[in-house]
Structures are given as C-alpha cells and as structure tokens.
Structure 1
Amino acid sequence: MRFRTVARSALASALVAATGLVAAVAPAQAADSSTVLQGVKFVKDIAAGNGRLFISASNQIVVTDDSGTPVGAVTGLAEPHGLAVTPDGSRLYAALNGSNEIAEIDTTALTVTRRFDLAAYPYPTYLSLAGDRLWVGHGPTNSWSGGVVGLDLSATTPEPVRIASGLYGPPKIAAGGSTVVAGENGSSPADLYVYDVSTTPATLRGVLDGHDNNFMYLKDITITADGSRAITAFDSPYRYDIWDTASLTRVGAYGEEPTFVGFPHAVALSPDGAHVIGARASRDRIELAGPRIAVYDAATTTKRHTADNPAGQVVEGALTFSGTDAFTVLYEMSTGRYTLWRLRGATLAASSVTATAPATGTALVPLTVTGRLTLSDGSAPGARPLVVTRRHPDGTSATLAPVTTATDGAFSITDTPPVGGTVHYEVLWDGNSAFRWSQAAATVEVARQPSTLSLTGPSTANTSRQLRFSGVLKTPGRALAPGTTLTVTRILNGEDITTVYLPTVTPADDGTFRFTDTPGAAGEYTYTVRWDGDATFLHARADHVVVVR
C-alpha cells in the first residue's frame, strides 16, 4: 500500500512435421506475473494484508489473493482512494473521497464494520496508520484547503483531531512512531511538514522547503516504523531521498543514478524495514530510460533487483509488499486498462542464470546450449530444475525436456532446432524460499536445410499427344509437411515467350509426384516444377525440355 508503516500457419505445420509437438506449446511462465483488472475504471492505491491484495477502484475495492488472482470485492463505496491495513492484517481502512468518510473493513468477511464521518474535513484522500491512530490527508485538489486529521481507532466513535491545515491539495502523509510527515500535493515546488504527535496538540518540528531542496511535485512518502526516517519520491530530484525526521536533514538516497532513468512515482518500505522498493514513470514524450522497478537494501542503499513491464505506467503511489513479493498497478493510457503486476520474491537474495549458444546452426542438426546458475551468496546451487523454452521466428514456442543443474550450477542442453531463422533459447530457474528467480536467453541464427527436386519426362513428342511427367521432392531428415504443393509452369520457347501455369501438384508422402499435359502446338517447351520451401528447407526447382513436332 502507499504509506504502510509496519514492517500460426505454414511454420506451425512445419513444426508439427519436424518435431511431432503441438506447434504452439505454452511457454514457461516467468515468476513475475501480470493480471489485467477487468472492468476497473481507475486505481488510486493498493494495500496488502491477511494474504490478500486490496485495490481501490471506481466505487469498490477489488480483492485478489496473494498471487494476484481476483477473489472478490467490497462494493458500495463512494470513490475509495487511500488505503491502510492494520499490522495483523485483520482490518482495512479506506478513504472515501466521494462521501467524506473513512470505512473500516473486515479483510476476511470483506464487509464494512464501521464508518467514520469526516464531513467537517472533506475529501479524505490519503491514509497512514501508526499504532492505534489513523492519519488522514484531506482537502480538495488545487486548493490551499488541505489538512491532516488523526483518528484514535481504539475509541468506539473516534473524533477527528486536526494537526495541520492550509496546505496545498490533500497532503500525502506518512506516519510512524510519534512522527507524521505531510507533503503538499499538486504544487511545484512542494514543501514537507514534519510533526511530533506525541503531544496534544501536535508540534510542528519544521518544514523542508521545496525551493531550497528542489522538490518538484511530490508523488509518494513512506516512513520507518519508529518514524525516525522518511523516504520521499518527487518528480525531481530523480532519486528516493532519506530524511532524518528529527534533524530534518537528508542522510542518504536510493537510486542515485548516473543519468536520468525516469521520474520517481512510488516508494514503499517492506514490513520488516529491510527493503525499499521504488517505481519510476515517464512523462509525456520522454522515454523511460531505465526499469520501472528497483529493489534496494534499506540499510546499505544497494540496488538488489530491477524489473520492467511494458504493460503501462506505474500508478502514482500504488506500491506495496506482501510477504516476500511486491505488487504495483500499471495503467496503459491508449487502452485505459489497468494491470496488477506481481514481483515474486522481490525481497529475496539474487540469483543469476547465464546461457551460451553457438552463433549459428542448421535446422534439424543438433546444437548445444551451456550455462550456469549462480547464487548471490556464492554457495553452490546444487541440483536445481530449469525450464528451457525454445522460441521460433513465428512466435510459437516449445518447452524442452527438463534440465537439472550440476552441483556447481552448470548445465548443458542439446537440442535440434526444427526450423531456420532466429531461434531463441530461454532458461528459467523459478527460485526458492531463499533466492529470487532468474532467467537468461541465448540466440542462434539457424540456416535452413537444402532440398532437392527432380523432374523427368519425354524429350520429344508429337502434337496432340498427352505428355507424362514424374519427379521427386526430397527433404532429407524430415517427411514432407502436410499440404505441401508444387507450382508447375510450361513455357513455349521462341521470340514470344509465353508462360502457362498448370494445376498445382501435391506430392505423395514420400515426395514423389506425377502430372500430365498436352501442348496445343509444335515447338520447344520448358516445363518447370518449383517448391517455395518452408521454415525448415530452402526452395528448389527442376526443369525439363520437350520438343513437340
């Protein structure tokens, strides 16, 4: 969640004939996954708890299991925006922007158990939970009427307590320990306000000035459980800054990239405080130069993983951890479609797979792909199963026989490519409870095999006599693909060359064929039989000359 503070065709026929496999075998699925959120009109936030994901969408909260598969929804909610989940995952809180309420939801029954009236503090938009207190950023957009109120959830009927007012837009907030950080939303530069809420009324510790710090459009804030460190995502600077909330100084950053890679769009801290994940987006016509997601070691700021997904832009602030996984939502502007993106094992240690193949090969001739699985801690992987997928030039694919690594992680794959063209081999290790999955690919430019075509018939004949021809199409190492046809033409040689196309010929299974023809006039004729080839074999032709008297 946003501010959680707890821790095809001719080639297909050729493949069938060459391998005996279904031409488009389902490819091995990478460990990360994407799920289109059918019927969802807008998404504002995502939260995780109780083995489920919660996505504020239109007038409902879409609910999925921890793999991203939809399992239900909480309906009848007026424009849910920000979400927050209790540490035990039993309760979900949603800011209902359309009815000026906070809804408390049982995450097992998916029912609303309480509603808190915020009519005096309209447009609740952003939430952050610290202990028994829920903090709400409220106010209309593009206005200096924004503010922050707190609700004591231990009370039967919590009364809102204001700690800030007169901020621009509904402020984005993050609460941890006795600290609340609120940031102006929709303005550039944007100021950050840091409050001590251990006393009533709350005390403003200070303001991080947007002009002085070059804060351009705040996108997200997260905070450590004790409130000592806040992490911000602004359009600029192009990094995720770490702020000491007592001294109000910058003490580090995640994603200190040497060049522009994208605008920070969301940031989240894992429940145990050990990992930080940042998401980036592009603007207008600016291309995203780096991956959309990066996972960092919270203590060292070292980048551990990156991941990308072309399904769309990361929704502002929609980023959360669930166990060892991370989730975000992507929006594709051209289609209006939202996609839930799961990064499986985002907090796990890294692994890597390498794959090496010969640069060139020949269809129907075996080749060997080698590689190695390595683990980031340097330990020997042992025997680990790998999934190998061969992808063909037409987009079809085949999953090869299972491969297991040696103790040191090395592996070798021998395969016979059934077709020519650019063939890709993808090797996937699906990971385990300690190490994140990894994948590698190798490419081979595969040449097609030669084919041969012969044609025999009479060398001389009289007019009106039917001519009989025969021949053989040979494709060594493979039977003819079903439906193979040959083109037959007749040319009358002379000053005015005339080409006549005769009926196509279908060879028998062994490649033999016959056809007849009766020329209508005397002259020298050249009969040509041509095969255009297929994905495995090159084209071939044969000619035969007949003199007709």
Structure 2
Amino acid sequence: MIMTVALVVVAPAASAADSITDLGVSVDLSSHSDVAAGGGKVFVSAGDRIVVTDADGVLVGAITDLVDVAGLAAAPDGMHVYAALHDSHEVIEIDSATLAIIRRIDFAAYPCPTRLVMSDGLLWAAYGCERDTGGLARLDVSASASQPIPVVTRQPAAPLFDVAGNTLVLAEPREVLTDILVYDVSASSFALRGEIDHESHGRHDLRDLVVTPDGSAAVLAFSSGYETWDTTSLTKIQEYGRSSSALEQAVGVAVSSDGAHIAGGWWSDDRGIELYDAATGATTYAKMVPSGWPTPKVLGGSLTIVGDDVFAVLWTSGTANTIRLWRLEDVTLLPSTMTLTGPEEATALEPLSLAGRVTMPEGVTAGRQQLEVTRRLPDGTSETLRSARTAADGTFTITDTPPVAGTVGYDVTWGGSADVRGSTASVSVQVVHQSASISLKGPVDWVIGKRLPIAGKLKFGDKAPTTRPSLTVIRASPDGVSTELGTVRVSKGGSFRFRDRPDQEGIYIYNFIWSGDDATSSALNAQFVTVRSGDS
C-alpha cells in the first residue's frame, strides 16, 4: 500500500521562514494596533509603545513612554515613520534608522488622531474624541513647521479612510449602514467625486477599507467578506471570500503595491489570513490562525503587505492578552504545489524510497530544483538529510535508511524562486524493527577443567551491526544453577568469541542474548555442551 500526501495551492504548509514574534506586550482587545514598514524594519503600535522588528520579524527595539499609540504610516522612502498618539493629541515623526523621535506635531485642535495615511508627500490623519467631533486633516510633512489643515469635519467619529493617487475614499462612521464618499484630491484641491450610499452596497458593519495604489478602486471589508468598487463609476467590481456563514468575521484588508493581490483577515478559528487575486476574486493563498495559545485572533486593521510578505497582529485572550506579530513569507508569489508518496511500512536499517513531484504554475518550466529533506524520528528529534534534486519535469526520488523503528516522518521542501512560492510536502512511514539473529559454533562435548571456546556471529537482517553491541551470556550448570557471566563484545563484523572453564560433569547450556534496541528486535541462541571427566 502506498501513502500519499499532497499540498494544495490555497493551503500551503508552513514555510520555515514564516514567523510568529511575541512582542512582549499585553493590550486590551479595544486597543489600537497598526503595522507599518520602513527602512527595512516593521513597526507595530502596542499601547504605550511602538515595537520594532526587522523584515524577518526578529525584535530589534521599541519606542516607549508614549500615550496610546494608534495609527502608523511610513514615508515612501522609508526614512521616517509617523505615529498618531491618540490621548496626547499629537503625531510624532520617527527616524526609522535610529528609532529616535525627531519631531512632534501638535494635533490639539484636531484631538484624538487615529488612522494615518501617507500619500504624495502629504500625511492624512483621521481624528475624533467625542461624538460629532470627528474629521479628517492633512499636513505637508516636508515643511519644517507644518500644521494640520482640516478637510472633512463634523463626522460622528474618526472616519475610516484611505488615499492613493488623486483618490480619497472615506466612510462616514455609522453604527449600522455606512455611506462611502469618494473625493478627487491633490495638493491644492479637494472635491467630492461621488458617493456609494448604503442602499447601493447593501452591506452593514464596514470594518476596514483601502484604496488600490493607482486610486482606481476601493477595497471594502464588510463583516461577511470583501468587495472592490470602481472609484470613477462607483460600481462594484468584484467580491472576495464571501460566505453566508462568515458574518461578523472579516476584520481587516490590505492591498499589494502593484494592486494585484488583496489580503483579508478573518476573526475565526478556521480562517486566518487569505490572499485573493484582485482581478478574478480567486483565493490564491490561505493560512489558518496558528494553534497553541488561547483563541488567537487577527486584529482588525493590522494587515500589511510588505514586498511578497504579509504581516498581521495576533491577539490572544486570557489574563495576558498578549499580542504577536505574524509574518507569512512569499504569499504574493505564484503558487507551486508538491506531492510526496512513501511506503506505508518499512523496516529499520533497510533503505526505503520516497517519490514526489514539484508542480509549477502554468507557464513556468520546472527544471532541476534543489530540495531540502528533513527526517523526523519518534523521539521528536529531527535531522536534515543530504539534499536532493528534481528532474527537469519536477519529479524526484529520495532514498533513506531509517535508523530506528516507529513512526518516521519526512518533510521535503522546495524553497521557491524569485517569482514562485516554495512548497512543502510531508509523509509518515511506519517502520518496524529489523530482525536479529545469533549463530553459534563450538564443541558439544568437553572435558572438565579445560577452557571451552564458543564463537558466534550477530546479524541484523542479513547484515552485520555497524556498531559494536554487547551480548549477555547466561550459563545454566548441570546442578540447575543459572549464572550471568557478563557480556561479550561484538566486533564490527558481527563476530564474537567466548571462553569458559566448566567444573562439573553434565550438560551445560550457554545462552547468548541480544536484548534488542530502537532499531532491532531481540534474539537468543544457546549452545549445549556435555562435560565429562577426563577418564570418560
């Protein structure tokens, strides 16, 4: 029987480069959490601080002693990152290289700044503390003494918005149905282009929105899924991840820098982060939230696509309320798949073969690819084996000799290329113990007082041991007494020698015992020797 395990496109195995970083911060679920990337670093707002990692999610520092950090935004060149401090009514400018605060911009006239967006040298900020005091302001951060200028006022609360190109999309905050306003914007003008009213989209509970980089479309995150709308004709283009059972589950959205991919976060145990093809609506990648902590959830508004990677913040319930930065690598690349088959049963210390195939996306030639092979043993340890390569058509064969019995697992990984996401497949093989045998050679009649020689050979299967194990020797004397005589060492060729000096007449039984180990079964053989007096 052959066991087959195959990976499908929308549910790839965890890449070795994916990471989950404990940010060392506990926050309430209602706290703001945003992610921005600049200068080769990732910045995460976390209560009274901004935690900073490198592009691989490894902690590099923190900016502390802040007051309720809300939204973040990075300058296009990545040299500066801006953070909205909700409770101290200011926006700070951070040097992304040194993590020093180099400027504080007063927002006292537009209190409680939340969401920030950087576009064409202008920093846009949503603000609002109490009811009907919300709005939107912008400022030119290139000016040394820039001041925020209000552009939308008298909002029920701080609005959801995004800006790209000459398009601004703003959602009027309402408790149930939301109107979405589209504006033409530039450094010198601000004019309403049109409105997507709640009767048009027919959805409630807008959670998030982003504008594609060219400003041509708005991506709206409603509670049951995602939609794109044309910002010129104000008509719906496409839906993503929609499910009647997903009500109240969609929480945040991000779009790639080329506008080709949309990432959606889901507040559920069986959906975590999904990637959609912006043009077709197809799901191209899906990853469930990781297990191991109490009910991990993707925080709304925390999704960011950086290059080919997706970052999000995970919140876990319980007394700690810990947040973690979740990094998924290469999710925007074209997907590959891998299949892997192996025998359902094998024998320890004997070679087994695994076979598989790496399948490239349509239009991409497989060619010879390097594979990494990892063997997992029953005791939980693992070892990277000698690497393998595919044939030109993507097929491959791997041969290994399992060193122990039990369930032995194999993981085969192709690391991917600049354009194609890598893939991994796994298979488990039930490995049974290798047989062991002991052969003996020696006299069957002997004389009291002489040294009795017995020789033998230990085999595992049809081969000699590769190590030098020991056998236990137990002697049964004619008077019925059994005595353990110690052990005899086996040579690398499997042979051994033993001597004894019997001192009684009668039948002696010499038992040679191999107790077995993790790879081999036990074995026993006995030599019967009749001992007589010298006169007999």
Q: What interval of TM-score do these two structures reach, taking the shorter chain for normalisation?
A: 0.7 to 0.9
2:312 aligned residue: 328
What secondary structure, in the 3-state scheme, does the structure 2 residue paired with 1:316 have? Answer: coil
The 3 A distance-change label for structure 1 pair 481 and 108 is same
Given the alignment, which residue of 73, 86, 97 partners 1:84? 73
Given the alignment, which residue of 126, 135, 143 partners 2:124? 135
Contact 1:167–1:184 (8 Å) recurs in 2: yes
The 3 A distance-change label for structure 1 pair 258 and 453 is farther
Contact 2:341–2:354 (8 Å) recurs in 1: yes
Contact 1:194–1:245 (8 Å) recurs in 2: no
Deviation at 1:206, TM superposition (A): 5.1
2:210 aligned residue: 222
1:241 aligned residue: 227
1:149 aligned residue: 136
1:296 aligned residue: 276
Match status 1:253 vs 2:243: no
Match status 1:65 vs 2:54: yes
Structure 2 counterparts to residues 297-446 of structure 1, below 5 A: 297-308=277-288, 310=290, 312-333=296-317, 336-446=321-431
Given the alignment, which residue of 447, 472, 491 partners 2:432? 447
Contact 2:181–2:192 (8 Å) recurs in 1: no
2:203 aligned residue: 213
**Deviations 1:467-494, CA, capped at 9 Å, x for gaps:** xx99987546464879x89999999xxx
In structure 1, distance between residues paired with 2:101 and 2:241: 39
Deviation at 1:128, TM superposition (A): 2.2
1:14 aligned residue: none
What secondary structure, in the 3-state scheme, does the structure 2 residue paired with 1:37 have? Answer: strand
* Rg larger for: 2
Contact 2:114–2:125 (8 Å) recurs in 1: yes
Aligned amino acid, residue 46 of structure 2: A
Identity of aligned residues (%): 37
In structure 1, distance between residues paired with 2:288 and 2:53: 22
1:24 aligned residue: none
Deviation at 1:297, TM superposition (A): 2.1
RMSD: 4.6
Deviation at 1:269, TM superposition (A): 0.6
In structure 2, distance between residues paired with 1:262 and 1:364: 54
2:256 aligned residue: 270
In structure 1, distance between residues paired with 2:58 and 2:455: 60
In structure 1, distance between residues paired with 2:250 and 2:339: 31
In structure 2, distance between residues paired with 1:36 and 1:97: 25
In structure 1, distance between residues paired with 2:173 and 2:121: 25
Greater relative contact order: 1 or 2 (C-alpha under 8 angstroms, separation 6 or more)? Answer: 1
The 3 A distance-change label for structure 1 pair 209 and 360 is same
Structure 2 counterparts to residues 518-529 of structure 1, below 5 A: none
Structure 2 counterparts to residues 53-132 of structure 1, below 5 A: 53-132=42-121
**Deviations 1:402-432, CA, capped at 9 Å, x for gaps:** 2122222222111111122222221111111
Match status 1:280 vs 2:260: no
**Deviations 1:213-256, CA, capped at 9 Å, x for gaps:** 243xx43221123444221223x31x211233455543311224
Contact 1:36–1:337 (8 Å) recurs in 2: no
Structure 2 counterparts to residues 18-33 of structure 1, below 5 A: 30-33=15-18
The 3 A distance-change label for structure 1 pair 368 and 209 is same
In structure 2, distance between residues paired with 1:209 and 1:119: 36
Given the alignment, which residue of 175, 197, 207 partners 2:163? 175
Aligned amino acid, residue 519 of structure 2: T
In structure 2, distance between residues paired with 1:30 and 1:504: 52
What secondary structure, in the 3-state scheme, does the structure 2 residue paired with 1:317 have? Answer: coil
Gaps of 5+ in 1: 1-27, 460-468, 492-499, 517-525
Contact 2:305–2:311 (8 Å) recurs in 1: yes
In structure 1, distance between residues paired with 2:105 and 2:315: 31
Given the alignment, which residue of 492, 515, 521 partners 1:538? 521
**TM-score normalised by the chain length of structure 1:** 0.75
Contact 2:221–2:227 (8 Å) recurs in 1: yes
